[in-house]
Chain A
Amino acid sequence: MPTIVVHVMPKPEILDPQGKAVGNALPRLGFEGFAAVRQGKRFELTVDGEVTEELLGKAREAAETMLSNPVIEDVVAVEVVTSEAAS
């Protein structure tokens, strides 16, 4: 089944406490060379059937109004992934 994937990230100007903690932990575990980490969210909206433009529009609206809070987050991508590509 096709899936609409929504990616949400904290706004660049908003401090990301979780990403910062992960960023601080990486070198302690020997993963050197990463200057910063930001942590976001990925939503997978599974579609029962075909992804129409209308459905994609609804997904974009949900992404902007519910899945993200525009005060602190940006929707960075809304994309369709087919099951063949996913598997």
Chain B
Amino acid sequence: MARIGVVTFPGSLDDRDAARAVRLAGGESVNLFHSDESLQDVDAVVLPGGFSYGDYLRAGAISRFAPIMEKVVDAAHGGMPVLGICNGFQVLTEVHLLPGSMIKNEHLHFICRDQVLRVENAETAWSSDYEAGQEITIPLKNQDGQYVADEATLDALEAEGRVAFRYVGFNPNGSRRDIAGITNERGNVVGLMPHPEHAVEAGFGPDSVLNGRRGTDGLSFFTSAISTLVAAT
């Protein structure tokens, strides 16, 4: 069974939800701690959402120096699937596994809503169970969610198909080119601001047209990683 580690930093909020999502997708979740110096032989890693270190200095800026991050960076360079959600995405940019950065939302408000995304790249380790162009609805909740990068970086991301997810209908935070999530060249590292782990179980997900809180569009992130790991063995 695929073993997927979820790292808890001081101030992580969604680590348990992420671990639960891993289990619902059919994987085994492994709790990892920021001060650990071993990845416990996991096959993939999720950096969850939250406000690690209270977002002091910059969101994700202090967590990226956690002992476990050195191991995560090495593993990512070796091809291990790594997913950063919200604060986890911010950590991935701070540690330079993904380009660009997040700054405060354009409107300065914390925002929480069910958000429609388009899957732009269905070939990453975390999106292979989607169809390219598929629209999904998952919750979004952030304060520092405005994705920024210089024009050359944005052009390169677009040209190389590394914009993995894009906001549809409404840009909730002023992100450049409606970017919700990106991937690295290899497709094993993915970061996004919205929260797939909050849309994995009917009754607790976002509202759909037909039913309240029935949305489970986020589950395929986790099944994708498991499929990717199975295909690699």
Contact = CB atoms under 8 A, between A and B. Distances in A.
Given A13-B150, A66-B61, A67-B57, A72 B101 contact: yes
Interface stretch (A15-23, A45-53, A78-86): A15-23
Interface residues of B, number: 20
Nearest to A13: B150
Interface stretch (B15-23, B103-111, B198-206): B103-111
B148 A17 contact: no
Nearest to B103: A72
A66 B65 CA distance: 9
A85 B224 CA distance: 60
Contacts, number: 37
Indicate the size class of the contact surface on chain A.
10 to 19
Contacts of B101: 69, 71-72
Contacts of A10: 103
Given A66-B61, A66-B65, A67-B57, A72 B104 contact: no
Interface in A37-76: 66-67, 69, 71-72
A35 interface: no
Nearest to B96: A71
A29 interface: no
Interface of A: 10, 13-15, 17-18, 21, 66-67, 69, 71-72
Interface of B: 57-58, 61, 65, 93-94, 99-101, 103-108, 146, 148-150, 174
